A and B are shown apart, each in its own frame.
Chain A
């Protein structure tokens, strides 16, 4: 993995159209600003990984398990 040291308000470029800027550093928290073309989605990694797990779980559902869904509603 490439590791770069940066200070507040400094940036790195990824390719020629993605800029990641260190906006603020407070204690163990870093705030990043990300400038990327509109077709490039940016996610927090843990959210993306949770969606991956959820889809894999969903892909194991059998039709028999969904039989009473017509009578269900959100809690």
Chain B
């Protein structure tokens, strides 16, 4: 199926690769169907592209690559709608955003995807986690040189 996007142009997505978010995303409640796209230039990055709004796409990453100590506890009520039979079916990603200091990750509200049922949901994790964890350039440069 062909969808129009403002960022990536007109793209062909396999309907088997679409994800259904029954409740949309908070703030984007009308956007229920999304395509998960790989970024053309960066293998660490994916994009959730709305199939109904060409201008709505959200960058996502696997959090552990950037925040190795990240652990989440998610209340069962948040996962029930996903109908996960096995935690191994679940893929966890976090939303990339930006503030005036640079790129940030939303660790408080990760997105859980049920790879088998092709459903997804943004959940609210328990505990004190940042909604905009700053990603830092200097630290990684130091790590690389160490």
Binding site for B on A (CB under 8 A): 36-43, 47-48, 50-59, 61-63, 65-75
Contacts and interface: CB of A to CB of B under 8 A. Distances in A.
Contacts, number: 125
A65 B1 CA distance: 28
A71 B133 contact: no
Interface residues of B, number: 50
Among A48, A53, A55, find the residue whose CB has the most chain B CB atoms closer than 10 A.
Answer: A55
A75 B136 contact: yes
Interface of B: 7-8, 25-28, 39, 41-45, 47, 55-59, 61, 66-67, 75-78, 80-81, 95-98, 103, 105-106, 108-109, 122-124, 131-137, 139-141, 143
A36 B80 CA distance: 13
Among A39, A40, A59, A70, find the residue whose CB has the most chain B CB atoms closer than 10 A.
Answer: A59
B117 to A, nearest CB: 15
